[in-house]
Amino acid sequence: MSEAERKYIKQVDEEILHASGESLLKLQEIDKSTQLSGRSFYDEYACTLKKTPEEKVVTKTKTFDNKTHH
């Protein structure tokens, strides 16, 4: 795992810990989806943010540019 990936995971974990309201509901949807599909939560989170930037789950921290590690 690269340093960028570790940093991204840490950022997402922090965002999860501070989520509430609609953000928390979206995170729960992503979690449920990944449990059923077997896909990585972090990959699904990144794809969800990339597909709908206007619906970003969390706004407290800097958004990670997932293009840097693909």
Instruction: Examine the pLDDT at 69 and tell me if it is beyond 80.
Output: no
Helices (H), 1-70: 3-17, 21-37, 41-51
**What's residue 66's pLDDT?**
44
Predicted structure pTM score: 0.63
Per-residue pLDDT tens digits for 4-29: 999 999 999 999 999 989 889 999 99
Instruction: Examine the pLDDT at 52 and tell me if it is beyond 70.
Output: no
C-beta of residue 27 within 8 angstroms of C-beta of residue 16: yes
How many Cα atoms sit within 13 Å of 50 on the Cβ side? 12
